[in-house]
A and B are shown apart, each in its own frame.
Chain A
Amino acid sequence: MNAEMLVKRAQLGDKQAFVQLIKGMESSLYKVSKAILLSDSECLDAVQETILIAYTNIHQVRAPKFFKTWITRILINECNKIRKVQTKIVKMNDYLEPTTNEQPEVFVDLQTAIDSLEPELRTVITLYYYEDLSVKEIGTILEIAVGTVKSRLNRARTKLSSLIEGHKVEGRLLHE
């Protein structure tokens, strides 16, 4: 049964359809939450909260084809809530960006390089390449303009190039 049919059934109160829908998205939910949060347990907290919100509000999805963007938006909101709490308890020094004089580490492994990106960039890379979402859909999910999505994607690609290939990016490396 395809996802749109499952959404429609879930909207009509079919819990089993909702369960199937979520189980089919397990990998996506993990990957998206991992793009924003540090630990797997925090990812699970965010995903569990997302599932509860989605279950009780699925009737708000006006067309089944929008379910994926809708639940991803909820998940990102939940991840950001957890991230905000983290930010409050982490020392400011932990968030200081490296200066442009520092030699960037050259990463051979793409996953490690992606993990080293700022959450904003990691999120758009994950949504675009892993979730196959369009820049328009990503804009909707993150509540940012399409142009901002494109510029974040470009910044992420440039940084990844630098991290993987060891290319220097003049004066803008690791700066938003």
Chain B
Amino acid sequence: MNKRVEELLQSWGNDKEQVPDFFSKGIDNILMDLPGSNSVVVETKPKRNSWIGKGLVAAAVLTFGVIGSGFVSPTMAQVLKEIPIIGSIFGGSPDTSLQMIHEQGLASQLNETVTNNGISLTITEAFLGGGRIAIAYTIETDKVVLQDISKNQGVPLSFDAQLNGQRFDYIAEFEQHVNGDVATGIIDMDYGLSYSLIDQPTLFLNVNEIAGVQGTWNFELLLGNEATSAATEGFAPLETATWDEATFVVERVEFTPVQSQIIIDSTMPRKEMGNYFFNLFDENGTSLGFGGGSGGAVNDLGNGMVNFRETVLLPGRKEAPNGLIIEITNNHGILGDPENYMEVNVPLSDTVFPYTINYSDGSKLIITGYEQLANKTIVHYDIEGMLSLQNTFLMLWDHNGEVITELTEPERTSLGTLSFKREFDKSEGPITLHTSMEKVSTIDWKQIEIDLRD
């Protein structure tokens, strides 16, 4: 490669040019128009022409018939043979929720192989549940070099997917581990729940590129099984809450060991869309976490009212809680004003505990103590008021102002009180806790309590 061009490119890359003024102003405009809260996703999904899906399915089925060979080489056979011993591909994932698929025996065993252009792709197992599809695979080839890929750090293969002949929206992530000419990996997909799935839908997986090699590896996979159904706890509480002109109906709640989901039907004035968001807790007020979300099509009801369904995805749980507390917050369409925020710094080494941080809505965060252990730093705190405060933004700085890495999510330490701890990396010397808050509260909140075992 031409050395001068490389130098020019390096220099070009370092020259961070000014953007045109109108472009910068255009960005400012859209930022000013953002709704005040970003915790609820409401997207309008256009209806798709059904003939497109049917055509693609027909093509996929036809191609599958031509390409599918079922050939399994001795190397691949050995890998497949070893999978149960090493604990399945899901069992080897660093993702604890995917490990759960193996531990609870929730995967459907498939072992279907397609070979094309010198590359054999085998789908070994698959899981469907809680708004998540996970597909374990092996790739065997001596044609190209396969690569290790950590979660969300690369794309080992490209594909299109359809469920029951319909295209659907999903976000896919990958992980892959290579041993010689054989890679084992997982395609991990979150999909929006505008889709009402039957218990055992068929996934058409049309892989068109592996490790840079284009080809056709088509599969027709029957997902779902009795084990997953048995491990899934579903509820239809149909609990309704109202807030001014807005009505929320908790339609469906589903807990699986891998992922959980809550579907809420909302009706409200169009102008209030984006003002409300939800935080989910168990019956004791412990956060159920947050794993994403999606929204269905917005239906115009006339008179300025709209209706839509939202899916809130949550981490998996081995057992469903006995109840739910849904904390709904309403920002009344007021945009976050930077002048309304204040920084709070608490030098922990010089503080007498308990130390209370008072929020403008009346909620409290009470720092009860901290520990500087050999391998980590732990901050203990209680909360009063908004349950969401247990997950509030907290940072630790060392005496040089460097950020001390947070190691874990907040953990409840007592069921009798709203007491929590958060673990950070090890630290020495004086440390400071940092957070920020609104000077004047612009957010109201309400809690709905739902007894799931009723």
Contact = CB atoms under 8 A, between A and B. Distances in A.
**Is A bound to B?**
yes
Interface of A: 2, 5, 8-10, 12-16, 18-19, 22-23, 26-27, 29-31, 40, 43-44, 47-48, 51-52, 55-60, 62-63, 66, 110-111, 114, 125, 128-130, 132, 136-137, 139-140, 143-148, 151, 154, 157-158, 160-161, 164-165, 167
A36 B190 CA distance: 28
A44 B23 contact: yes
8 contacts: A14-B436, A30-B23, A31-B17, A44-B22, A51-B34, A128-B13, A129-B9, A130-B13
Interface in B113-171: 144-145, 147, 149, 151-156, 158, 171
Given A60-B171, A129-B12, A157-B1, 11 more contacts: A12-B393, A18-B31, A26-B19, A26-B23, A56-B42, A62-B152, A125-B9, A143-B158, A144-B155, A160-B5, A165-B2
B144 A147 contact: yes
B179 interface: no
B199 interface: no
A27 B1 contact: no
Contact of A12 (B4, B156, B158, B392): B392
Interface string B1-44: 11011101110110011111011101101110010111111110
A147 B209 CA distance: 12
Given A5-B403, A48-B26, A60-B292, A144 B2 contact: no
Interface in B304-342: 335-336, 338, 341
B290 interface: yes
A159 to B, nearest CB: 10
B155 A145 contact: yes
A56 B155 contact: no
Interface of B: 1-2, 4-6, 8-10, 12-13, 16-20, 22-24, 26-27, 29-31, 34, 36-43, 144-145, 147, 149, 151-156, 158, 171, 190, 209-212, 277, 290, 292-293, 335-336, 338, 341, 391-393, 395, 403, 436
B5 A15 contact: no
Contacts of B42: 56
B24 A26 contact: yes
Contacts of B152: 62-63, 66, 140
Contacts of B27: 22-23, 26, 29, 44, 47-48, 51
A13 B335 CA distance: 11
Contact of A129 (B13, B39, B391): B13
Contacts of A56: 38, 40-43
B160 to A, nearest CB: 11
A164 B12 CA distance: 14
A32 B219 CA distance: 35
B166 to A, nearest CB: 21
Contact of A13 (B20, B37, B43): B37
Contact of A165 (B5, B31, B155, B190): B5
Given A56-B38, A56-B43, A51 B155 contact: no
A143 B392 CA distance: 34
A109 to B, nearest CB: 10
Contact of B38 (A10, A23, A146, A157): A10
A44 B19 CA distance: 11
Nearest to B24: A26
Interface centre among A18, A125, A140 (most CB of B within 10 A): A140
Nearest to A154: B1
B24 A139 contact: no
Nearest to B39: A13
Given A16-B336, A56-B38, A110-B12, A140 B403 contact: no
A29 B392 CA distance: 29
Contact of A18 (B1, B20, B38): B38
Nearest to A15: B336
B436 A9 contact: yes
